Amino acid sequence: MVIKLNEALVVLVRGLIAFFTLLIFTRFLGKEQIAQLTFFDYIVGITIGSIASSLTVDLASSAWPHFVGLFTWAAFSAILQLITLHSKKLTKFVNDKASIIIHDGVILGDNLKKSKFTLVDILGLLRLKDIFDLNQVKFAILETNGQLSVLTKDEFSNIVYSMDIKLKNQDVNNELIFNGMIIEDNLPKYKIDRKWLLKELNKQGFESPLEVFYAYLDSSKKLKVDTYKNKIINIKDIYK
């Protein structure tokens, strides 16, 4: 009983040390919002938390090595944070860079693949911003923290706000082809058949659905096609 009480006391003391150490490190590292954290920041946070947890309950080892590890991770994280404030190249190396996923309603296939996001992920992020039609999008930028920043087309925004026009019969993008495969179940839903789809693809210069990354019917029931290869646009081009 005495041994268990002593162990509990040690855990309590270690827990207090770990708690206030994390509090100090947190204040020192800054007040970055959770939504602004990059993947690297997230990994650093998990690692520091794991070390603090071991410091608290791992009674089989000395507390000192855990404290040194905790200080080391926090110190290097702070140093890296200071350096990246003055070095764009290092910032790009550590956090990668924002990439344009959609331009003028067209999904940029190369950028999408590099981002490790799927088309379903991007469409879901757009729906969270109340955007159900890719034609509404001028630019969609995937930020380094995984969030999607969207700039809608000026003409679309102007019509909506100046004339107070409500979108009629707006629906989720009507996917017909994904990754070269025709989504057969959606054809009868929109009263079209395979022959009509192939004919429309031929009109746009495609001999086979295998050449198409993504095809859908927009809100005006026109076939929109995105290929695997698209022009890669730099962030600086947005403001030209």
Among 29-33, 89-93, 139-143, 169-173, the least confident range = 169-173
User: What confidence tens digit (pLDDT) does each residue in 65-108 have?
Assistant: 888 888 888 888 878 777 776 766 666 666 667 788 888 788 88
pLDDT of residue 165: 46
Of 92 and 159, the structure prediction assigns the larger pLDDT to 92
Nearest to 214 by CA among 181, 177, 186, 183: 177
- Could you tell me if 24 and 73 lie in one domain? yes
User: Can you give the residue range of the structural domain that contains 84?
Assistant: 5-92
Interatomic CA distance for residues 226 and 215, integer angstroms: 6
Domain for residue 137, yes or no? yes
Q: How confident is the model at residue 228 (pLDDT cuts 50, 70, 90)?
A: low
Average pLDDT over every residue of 215-238: 64
- In the predicted model, is pLDDT for residue 189 greater than 60? yes
- Could you tell me if 9 and 87 lie in one domain? yes
pLDDT of residue 158: 60
Domain for residue 111, yes or no? yes
Residue 9's H or E segment, with its range, is helix 2-29
223: CATH: 3.30.240.20
- What is the percent of the chain where pLDDT is above 70? 73
**What total of structural domains would you count in the chain?**
3
pLDDT of residue 169: 46
- Could you tell me if 11 and 88 lie in one domain? yes
66-73: long-range contacts, CB 8 A cutoff, minimum separation 24: 67/17, 67/21, 70/18, 70/21, 70/25, 73/44, 73/47, 73/48
Of 113 and 198, the structure prediction assigns the larger pLDDT to 198
Average pLDDT over every residue of 138-164: 71
Of 182 and 172, the structure prediction assigns the larger pLDDT to 182
- In the predicted model, is pLDDT for residue 137 greater than 60? yes
Q: How confident is the model at residue 11 (pLDDT cuts 50, 70, 90)?
A: confident
